[in-house]
Amino acid sequence: MFKGIKRIVIKVGSQLLSGNGGINSEFLSKLAFQVSQLVKEGREVIIVSSGAVLSGIKALNLSRKPFSLQEKQHFLPSVNHT
């Protein structure tokens, strides 16, 4: 399927990463397996994700991403303590 292609970029959005109240570990396991197969075939795989933001939101028990500067300043000090 990918003959002649050396590098593959995979964009994974937060919707794919989120599961029932947390991270979708089933999706991540399947993705990891598929990526490992591509690497075994000699391909370079780059994964781009907004999942770090989702993980932070979940770790801080927020219902949504903070938007205002005031909200961000309020939650930023707690990030290193979770």
On whether the pTM is more than 0.85, the answer is no
Digit-coded pLDDT (tens) for 22-64: 778 889 999 999 999 999 999 999 988 876 677 777 777 877 7
Which residues, in sequence order, are CB contacts of 26 under 8 Å at separation 6+? 19
Please give the pLDDT value at position 82.
43
